[in-house]
């Protein structure tokens, strides 16, 4: 199975600023998925990132707020822009592994003050 | 649209006993995958077990097994001989068969399981 290194593991940020979250995969993958998990809630898909094309965003998420980069098949970043306290969540990246399942990064716990 | 429903927000079980977590889903697809993921306080998402819809045999992984009822669209998780380390949030998830889809997971709201000594 793929191994994902996600950074940072946590951060406390001032409102109005931006945070970029990185995910590095130890193998090449076509799609990377970015999820948000609000406090006490389930995971909600933000967007799907394909290498060489624009990310596909789910309803309620926009590129200006959550720009995504996918420069190669092993790396992606998600930026949370112009943050407000409502953005306080855990953000996780995920990829499909070779066994029909999915591997997740360890998550980034973001607190906006 | 596909939906996944977990009707038990919280459950508790005594150590060494058996507990069953419920999950139902809604889809018009015939081929799909179902998963149970565990999220301990460390927040790492850990795959517990998965089931392909075309397989009639229920999946098992050591102390974890599922009861997959395709007609009823039900996918429950049974944990036998519960251990303290099983304490976590458990999420049921669905993915339609890849062909042509983006292949992302759709999650239920989760069940918080507490194993008591």
Rounded CA-CA distance B19/B21 in Å is: 7
In which band, very low, low, confident or very high, does the pLDDT at B31 lie, cut at 50, 70 and 90? confident
Q: What pLDDT score does A51 carry?
A: 81
Q: What is the mean pLDDT of residues B85-109?
A: 83
Taking residues B28-54, report their average pLDDT.
91
Instruction: Place domain A40-98 in its CATH homologous superfamily.
Output: Immunoglobulins (2.60.40.10)
CB contact under 8 A, A94 and B45: yes
CATH number of the structural domain spanning residue B109: 2.60.40.10
Test mutation, A42, A47, A54, chain B, max B CBs within 10 A: A42
pLDDT number for residue B97: 66
Taking a C-beta distance cutoff of 8 angstroms, is the pair B25, B85 a contact?
A: no
- In this complex, do A33 and B43 lie within 8 Å of one another by their Cβ atoms? no
Q: Where in the sequence is the domain holding B99, given as residue range(s)? A: 3-116
* Interface test mutation site (partner B, options A40, A60, A97, A100, max chain B beta carbons within 10 A): A100
B77-98: average pLDDT:
92
Domain count, chain B: 1
Q: pLDDT (tens digit, 0 to 9) for every residue of chain A, 113 residues total?
A: 789 999 999 999 999 999 999 999 999 998 899 999 999 899 999 999 988 788 999 999 999 999 999 999 999 999 999 999 999 999 999 998 766 788 999 999 999 99
**Does A96 sit within 8 Å of B43, measured CB to CB?**
no
């Amino acid at each position: 199975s793929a191994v994902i290194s996600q950074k940072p593991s946590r951060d406390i940020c001032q409102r109005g600023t931006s945070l970029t979250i990185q995910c590095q995969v130890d193998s090449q993958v076509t799609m990377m998925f970015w999820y948000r998990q609000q406090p006490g809630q389930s995971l909600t898909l933000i967007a799907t990132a394909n290498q060489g094309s624009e990310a596909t965003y789910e309803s309620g998420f926009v590129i200006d707020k959550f720009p995504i980069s996918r420069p190669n098949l092993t790396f992606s970043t998600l930026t949370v822009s112009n943050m407000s306290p409502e953005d306080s969540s855990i953000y996780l990246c995920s990829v499909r592994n070779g066994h029909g399942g999915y591997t997740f990064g360890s998550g980034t716990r973001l607190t906006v003050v | 649209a596909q939906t996944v429903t977990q009707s038990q927000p919280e459950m508790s079980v005594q150590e060494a006993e058996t507990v069953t977590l419920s999950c139902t889903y809604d889809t018009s697809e015939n081929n799909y995958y179902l998963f149970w993921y565990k999220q301990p306080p460390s927040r790492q998402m850990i795959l517990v077990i998965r089931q392909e819809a075309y397989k009639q045999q229920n999946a098992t992984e050591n102390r974890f097994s599922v009861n997959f009822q395709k007609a009823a669209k039900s996918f429950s998780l049974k944990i036998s001989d519960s251990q303290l380390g099983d304490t976590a949030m458990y999420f049921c998830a669905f993915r339609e068969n890849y062909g042509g889809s983006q292949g992302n997971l759709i999650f239920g709201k989760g069940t918080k399981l507490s194993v008591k000594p």
